[in-house]
Chains A and B, each alone.
Chain A
Amino acid sequence: MTELLAAIAVLAVGTYAFRATGPLLRKRWKPSPALQRTLEVASVVLLAAVAARSGTFHDGELAGGALIGGAAVAAVLSWIKAPFLVIVGAAVAVTAGLRYAGLG
């Protein structure tokens, strides 16, 4: 039990350290415009990667067509700048619909 609590503490403190590095460093060091652009591009690329993975994999395995279909619809609607609620609603509806139709 002590071991488990210590491991949770390591994960919590480590994650906070990851998050706080940028905000705390920024007080004494301001990234150059070139580095700022690089970090912004890195954040956009990373977030898209997180979304792509969560839209194609489920519990560590390749997801069925229902989730992938819903995520693909969301990607297309996002590209044409549909309203936020429409994008999320359509993704859920398509995924649930395809799943109801038996597409995993």
Chain B
Amino acid sequence: MYAFIVLNMDTINRTELHSLLRSVAVVCLAGGILGISYGALAIGYGLPWWIPVLLSVAVVAGASEMMFVAIIGVGGSPWLAAAAGLLVNARHVPFGFQVAPVMGHGLRSILGAHAINDESTSFAIAGSSPAMRRLGFWACGVGIVLVWPLGTALGTWLGAFLGDLDRWGLDAVFPAMILALVIPKARAGGAVLTTAVVLGAAITVATASFLPAGLPELLSLAAVAFARPWRPATTEWELSS
């Protein structure tokens, strides 16, 4: 990791680097805390400790894992749980295309694929230069891949001792950090992109109470049509030059 940072030093200024690493540290800390509450939740369903931990190592996608555990926890079919989890995770397909240029080729793209998640994709989009996007993606992606299972394991161990973590407002961490990374990007894209983003979020929130998890998020993609980004480039769309 250190060598990796040094390699990038010439293209990133020091202040920017420190601010990026601080943000990544916060996101990873938050990921660990989220993992703890997820591990505790799984134990609460009476599941053995290794099920959430195995999911956290092999899947690394919190929302789908919580859904999986919630379904099998009440005695539902594991196949239904897997299908629901896959629906929740379908958003990683467009993320993969978006993140691919910052990942590198060969082994890096094969390993890096596992590190694609909401947080690392946000860093890959939000970075102010190609070097910042690359460093943000890798630091956050690898951090989450390590911290998420550790948090989960800790949560299954601490289990019921923790009480209700939401009392501390920690459920606000995840939406807040994604918004912090994505909203400035939407704003930089101008009124059209901002409108598309708001429209997409509205579609998701409006349908979330009656559609199965994952689907409302995918429906937000209808709002992309509003921005018509496939038209020939105008200055407005110089998002990641």
Please indicate the chain B residues that have their CB under 8 angstroms from the CB of A55 in the complex: 172, 175-176, 179
| Chain B min CB distance to A53 (Å) | 5
- Report the interface size class on chain B: 35 or more
Q: For this complex, into which size category does the number of interface residues on chain A fall?
A: 35 or more
When A34-B230, A37-B230, A53-B216 are in contact, do A4 and B209 touch as well, CB less than 8 Å? no
Check if B176 sits within 8 Å of A49, measured CB to CB. Answer: no
B168 / chain A contacts, CB cutoff of 8 Å: 92, 96
Q: What CA separation (Å) do A50 and B218 show in the bound complex? A: 9
Could you give, for residues 21-49 of chain A, a 1 whenever the CB lies within 8 Å of some chain B CB and a 0 otherwise? 11111110001011101111111111111
Task: Tell me the residues in window 42-65 of chain A with beta carbons closer than 8 Å to chain B beta carbons.
Answer: 42-63
Chain B interface mostly helix, strand, loop or mixed?
helix
Q: Which of A52, A58, A96 contacts B205 (CB 8 A)?
A: A52
A54: B residues at CB distance < 8 A: 63, 171, 174-175, 178
The answer on a CB contact under 8 Å between A14 and B82 is yes
Asked if B221 is an interface residue, CB under 8 A from chain A, the answer is yes
**CB-based contact A22/B95 at 8 Å:** yes
Interface centre among A37, A51, A95 (most CB of B within 10 A): A51
Q: Which of A34, A43, A67, A95 has a CB less than 8 Å from the CB of B121?
A: A43
Q: Does B17 contact A (CB under 8 A)?
A: no
Closest Cβ of chain A to B198, distance in Å, is 8
The one of B51, B91, B112, B180 in contact with A4, judged by C-beta atoms closer than 8 angstroms, is B51
Residues on A with beta carbons closer than 8 Å to the beta carbon of B100? 22-23, 26
Once the chains bind, are B196 and A45 in contact (CB under 8 Å)? yes
Beta-carbon contacts under 8 Å, B93-130 to A: 93-101, 103, 105, 109-110, 112-114, 116, 118, 121-122, 125
Please give, as numbers and ranges, the residues of chain B lying within 8 Å of A88 by CB-CB distance.
26, 30, 173, 176-177, 180
B146 within 8 A of A: no
Q: Are B216 and A49 in contact (CB under 8 A)?
A: yes
Interface residues of B (CB under 8 A from A): 19, 22-23, 26, 30, 51, 54-55, 58-61, 63-64, 68, 70, 72, 78-79, 81-82, 85-86, 89-101, 103, 105, 109-110, 112-114, 116, 118, 121-122, 125, 166-187, 189, 193, 196-198, 200-205, 208-209, 213, 216-218, 220-221, 223-224, 227, 229-233, 237, 239-240
Give me the interface of A with B, judged by CB distance under 8 Å.
Answer: 3-4, 6-12, 14-16, 18-27, 31, 33-35, 37-63, 66-67, 70-71, 74-75, 77-79, 81-85, 87-88, 90-97, 99
In the complex, given contacts A41-B224, A50-B63, A54-B178, what are 19 additional A-B residue pairs having Cβ atoms less than 8 angstroms apart? A4-B51, A11-B58, A14-B86, A23-B113, A31-B97, A33-B233, A35-B230, A37-B237, A43-B98, A44-B125, A46-B217, A48-B220, A51-B201, A55-B175, A55-B176, A56-B208, A74-B172, A93-B169, A94-B169
